[in-house]
Amino acid sequence: MVPIALTIAGSDSGGGAGIQADLKTFSALGVYGASVITALTAQNTRMVSLIEPASTAMIAAQMAAIFDDLDVRAVKLGMLGGADAIETVAKGLAGCTLPMVLDPVMVAKSGDRLLPPDALDALRSLLLPMATVLTPNLPEAADLLGGAPATTEVEMAQQGRALRAMGPGAVLMKGGHGSGELCVDLLVSADGITRLTAPRQATCNTHGTGCTLSAAIAAGLAQGMDLTQAVQRAHIYLQGAIAAADCLGVGSGQGAAHGPLHHFHAVWHNG
């Protein structure tokens, strides 16, 4: 039977991030994807023009319907939008022993705020302790800790440990917002620190990288991988999706703003 992963996140009408990126990633990695939509966004490769949250009743009903019927093996949490949605999701997951990947989506690459500052406390107290792994980028880690973004690997490791002390089983500190020719991610867990590196790729087409990486980790966990294996495969998959992104030619933001990744780079090719 095919493994099933559930994504609980917002919809991206442009198809590059959110629910759409998660489902593409699940499919590319051989996992059946189910979804709970927490918000609708009107966006494209250039901008986000409108965000409309789903009602808490609808979020709860979607979760109940999925867990009542599908044998979910892993959960990925993405854009939740506000404290009410976070509380609803936490209630729906109460007592759940499935592996959970928490991507603390706060700000879109366009700069639009996707999580109000007043929802941070709910995220910290309700969802961080549930997470198998938390996957913040450097600005998100800083927001969660109430400090400045890390600028060195030593600071990344320190912040990863501080976040892990807030409840998640592990923290993947993502270095995509850093500088230098090498992009470094640090997986901070009870076993120590695993360093993942890749050459920093010269492309503007990185919309949905965080969603894609966290969904790829969830796919691996749904397939029975341990966390380190799931993170390592997800890292390789993401680098391939970034490397092939420039050949897609999707939207007028492609190559100038924030075009999408090529989630199916191993399946079909353009250019």
Q: Which of 17-26, 192-201, 226-235 has the lowest mean pLDDT?
A: 192-201
- In the residue annotation, 178 being an active-site residue is answered as no
Q: Which residues contact 263 (CB under 8 A, 6 or more apart)?
A: 21, 24, 25, 28, 212, 241
Q: How many domains does the chain have?
A: 1
Does the residue 144 lie in any domain? no
Q: Residues 160, 174, 220, 251: which is the catalytic one?
A: 174
- What average pLDDT score do residues 43-51 get? 87
Q: Which residues contact 69 (CB under 8 A, 6 or more apart)?
A: none
pLDDT tens digits for range 194-231: 999 988 888 888 889 999 999 999 999 999 999 999 99
- In the residue annotation, 174 being an active-site residue is answered as yes
Does the residue 46 lie in any domain? yes
- In the residue annotation, 15 being an active-site residue is answered as no
* Whole-number Å distance between alpha carbons of 160 and 154: 10
Q: Residues 208, 220, 251, 253: which is the catalytic one?
A: 208
Question: What pLDDT does 108 receive?
Answer: 59
| Residue 100: other Cβ atoms inside 10 A | 23
Does the residue 256 lie in any domain? no
Does the residue 102 lie in any domain? yes
Q: Residues 209, 212, 253, 259: which is the catalytic one?
A: 209
* Whole-number Å distance between alpha carbons of 229 and 232: 5
* CATH code assigned at 80: 3.40.1190.20
pLDDT tens digits for range 78-115: 999 899 999 999 999 999 999 999 999 886 555 566 77
* Whole-number Å distance between alpha carbons of 114 and 108: 7
Q: Which of 108, 44, 107, 12 is nearest to 256 (CA)?
A: 44
Beta strand 72-77 pairing with 4-12: parallel
Output the CA–CA distances (angstroms, integers) from residue 151 to 77, 174, 197, 234, in the order listed.
Answer: 26, 12, 16, 24
Does the residue 170 lie in any domain? no
Q: Residues 24, 78, 88, 211: which is the catalytic one?
A: 211
Question: What pLDDT does 54 receive?
Answer: 97
List the beta bridge partners of residue 113: 107
Question: What pLDDT does 247 receive?
Answer: 83
Q: Which residues contact 200 (CB under 8 A, 6 or more apart)?
A: 180, 181, 182, 183
The 3-state DSSP class for residue 231 equals helix
| Residue 95: other Cβ atoms inside 10 A | 4
Does the residue 271 lie in any domain? no
Does the residue 218 lie in any domain? yes
- What average pLDDT score do residues 249-271 get? 76
The residue segments making up the domain with residue 84 are 4-135+204-247
Cα–chain center distance at 126:
18
List the beta bridge partners of residue 106: none
Q: Residues 206, 220, 251, 253: which is the catalytic one?
A: 206
Q: Residues 78, 210, 220, 259: which is the catalytic one?
A: 210
Does the residue 241 lie in any domain? yes
- In the residue annotation, 206 being an active-site residue is answered as yes
Cα–chain center distance at 235:
12
